Amino acid sequence: MKNKLQTETQKECVVEQAHAKINLCLDAVSKRADGYHELRSLVIPLALHDRIVIEKADTMSYTCNEPALSFHDGNTIVKAVRLMKEAFQIKDNYHISVTKQIPMEAGLGGGSSDAAAVMRGIAKLSGHYIKARVLEELGVSIGADVPCLIQNRCVYVSGIGEGLTFLTNRFAFPVLLVKPKAGASTKLVYENLNLDTCPHPNVPKCRSEWENGNFRGVLANCGNSLEGSTFQLVPEVAALKHELLSSGFEFVAMSGSGTTVFAIGGMNVTKMRGIAERLKTRYPFVELTSSYIPN
């Protein structure tokens, strides 16, 4: 009887890891007639993650360790629940408990990854076999980053986030993340973007170097079209990038629309840890993590 009860309990609750991401390379190609931007990007999942527990309940409820996170209709987790229930005629309600480690308005995909994790969790609890590709196609209606975070794999992204080509090569490397106090509105960053003057890194070249196993070649071709726009809105991000470059890292860039800056290469983990400890006295979020490689 005990084993039967344990099995039934396990079926009623799932735990998902919502991994952060960095845009190792990001090119804003053009602006579409509907206002969205066509992008090309190389997206890498990180070991840093939020923890999400989803359990069946009589009514919908949410809890979080981050008081600033509000579960209103515009919240990505709430959107994910509503989307899954409508798409698959799911009648169940859930209690969703979120333990945040990924900062908000950081360009690390925290909200999108949380939504992706909730979609995966509800799919498991529903008892239906739902392919990852189906979740990816649905997820774009929540946000452009949701589809590429469903599987927590390295991926080449195109279009407005719906074009996904998963990469087979894997590289294990430490990543230093630093975020100033100020965040950046993705909407404002894109509104402030000048496609004629912003850099346009060669994302296809980064992809080919990655697939050829040449990580140094990847770093040599990386960049982020959105940096200049965010630097204008939050000058502290530009100063932070310059400081990290001066510390001796091989490559430093802003992730997504910011305001987190990541630094990789050029030094060992011990030296990176020392730099991280010094930066913690001045910045509210400093995290030494690594690329995430699924089992």
| Edge-to-edge strand list for the sheet holding 261-264 | 251-254, 261-264, 174-179, 285-290
Query: Which of the following is catalytic: 21, 79, 100, 179?
Result: 21
Instruction: Please list, in sequence order, all residues whose beta carbon lies within 8 angstroms of the beta carbon of residue 175, skipping any fewer than 6 positions away.
Output: 22, 46, 262, 263, 264, 288, 289, 290, 291
Query: Which of the following is catalytic: 27, 50, 114, 145?
Result: 145
Instruction: Please list, in sequence order, all residues whose beta carbon lies within 8 angstroms of the beta carbon of residue 282, skipping any fewer than 6 positions away.
Output: none
Q: 7 by DSSP, 3-state: which? A: helix
Q: What is the CA radius of gyration of the chain?
A: 19
Is 145 part of the annotated catalytic residue set?
yes
Task: Find out whether 108 and 22 touch, Cβ atoms under 8 Å.
Answer: yes
Cα within 13 Å of Cα(76), Cβ side = 24
Backbone angles phi, psi at 120, to 5 degrees: -60, -45
- For the chain, the first-to-last Cα distance in angstroms comes to 33
Segments in the chain forming alpha helices (H): 2-11, 76-87, 110-126, 132-139, 186-191, 203-211, 215-220, 227-233, 235-246, 269-279
- Return the sign of the alpha-carbon dihedral for residues 66, 17, 213, 271: positive
Q: Return the active site residues.
A: 21, 145
